[in-house]
């Protein structure tokens, strides 16, 4: 016979069975896990007092169950504030996949906010990465990507204008990769991406709604079409508490590795639109002089 649900505040909590061979703390742990899955990320869980009142178990039993779930990354307890549902990270396999496809495949909701969109002359650094002649034009996109309404990526993307003529700001509101394939017939097949950890510059922190100096992952990617032509150079600031990467490792490979793009570095004046360049680039088109990243 199913356990009769009782209410703690507005949440239904199943009664625990003291006669079950399953320990009470484990019963409570699984019940709290069920509740956490039903709530949005960041939601408050029932208090210790509520759980004691509803379930009749001791404070020590509750704390053991919560501690186990905290170690598993399901909950997070903050002294004096309570226990909260921890955001599950988006785990990105290092495959050539769009943000929209990746997040949607996980059953979560991707959204995009376009901060800027323009067709501009390529700076020397961008032209080098895209193997473009001097004075070539690129589409420069600056976007915030969110998962379930929570901003997690600030992305700056450059696309060779000659390969995607007529690209629009409306296109930038969704998957650029899908537009590249469907409208321009370009099949993206290869790329190289570098990843490093930095402290969030002030402007990035504002966009991602995190404290200045919080850890972020910074990636730089060059993406190639089926004929080996660079189509995209993209750089991303990614919330480290919301994102992870999975790599497949092998002892050897028969594939000739591509040149690795220069890593992204913060600037002395770290506006988002100034944040994508190498330490050798003086950002004439992005404003400000680049300085090498110095870990602190």
Q: Name the percent of the chain lying above pLDDT 90.
A: 18
What CATH number does the domain containing 252 carry? 3.40.1410.10
With contact defined as beta carbons under 8 Å apart, do 212 and 201 qualify? yes
Q: Return the structure tokens found at 78.
A: 């903050």
Residue with tokens 């508490």: 241
28 and 106 part of one domain:
no
Q: Return the structure tokens found at 133.
A: 């002649």
Q: pLDDT, tens digit, for every residue of 108-155?
A: 788 889 999 999 999 888 898 899 998 899 999 999 988 878 888 899
Work out the widest C-alpha separation in the chain, in whole angstroms: 78
Beta-sheet strands, E only, within the chain: 5-8, 11-14, 75-78, 82-85, 90-93, 110-121, 137-147, 150-160, 188-199, 215-225, 230-239, 243-246
Characterize 134-160 residue by residue with b for buried, 16 or more Cβ atoms within 10 angstroms of its Cβ, and e for exposed. Answer: eeeebbbbbbbbbbbebbbbbbbbbbb
What CATH number does the domain containing 25 carry? 1.10.10.10
94 and 19 part of one domain:
no
Structurally, the chain folds into a number of domains equal to: 2
Which pTM value belongs to this model?
Answer: 0.57
pLDDT mean over 162-184:
91
Domain holding 43, by residue range, is 5-85
Would you say residue 3 has pLDDT above 60? no
pLDDT mean over 219-242:
88
pLDDT mean over 1-26:
65
Q: State whether residue 291 is helix, strand or coil.
A: coil
Residue 296 lies in a domain: no
User: So what's the pLDDT on residue 95?
Assistant: 56
Domain edge (last residue) among 65, 85, 105: 85
Mean pLDDT of the chain: 75
141 and 36 part of one domain:
no
63 and 21 part of one domain:
yes
User: So what's the pLDDT on residue 138?
Assistant: 94
């Amino acid at each position: 016979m199913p356990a009769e649900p009782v209410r703690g505040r507005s949440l239904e909590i199943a009664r625990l069975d003291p006669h079950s061979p399953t320990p009470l703390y484990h019963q409570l742990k699984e019940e709290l896990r069920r509740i956490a899955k039903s709530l949005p990320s960041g939601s408050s869980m029932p208090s210790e007092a509520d759980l004691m009142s509803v379930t009749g178990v001791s404070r020590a039993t509750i704390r053991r169950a919560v501690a186990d779930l905290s170690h598993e990354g399901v909950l997070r307890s903050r002294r004096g504030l309570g226990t909260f549902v921890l955001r599950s990270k988006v785990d990105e396999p290092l495959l050539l996949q769009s943000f929209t496809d990746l997040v949607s495949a996980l059953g979560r909701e991707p959204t995009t906010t376009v901060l800027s969109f323009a067709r501009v002359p390529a700076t020397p650094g961008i032209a080098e990465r895209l193997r473009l002649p001097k004075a070539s034009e690129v589409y420069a996109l600056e976007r915030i990507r969110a998962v379930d309404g929570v901003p997690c990526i600030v992305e700056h993307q450059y696309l060779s204008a000659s390969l995607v003529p007529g690209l629009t700001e409306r296109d930038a509101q969704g998957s650029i990769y899908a537009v590249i394939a469907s409208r321009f017939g370009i099949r993206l097949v290869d790329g190289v991406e570098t990843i490093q950890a930095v402290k969030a510059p002030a402007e990035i922190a504002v966009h991602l709604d995190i404290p200045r100096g919080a850890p972020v992952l910074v990636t730089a990617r060059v993406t190639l079409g089926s004929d080996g032509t660079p189509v995209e150079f993209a750089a991303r600031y990614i919330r480290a508490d919301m994102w992870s990467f999975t790599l497949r490792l092998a002892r050897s490979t028969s594939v000739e590795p591509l040149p690795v793009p220069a890593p992204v570095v913060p600037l002395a004046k770290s506006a988002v639109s100034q944040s994508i360049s190498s330490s050798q680039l003086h950002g004439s088109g992005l404003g400000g002089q680049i300085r090498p990243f110095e870990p602190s």
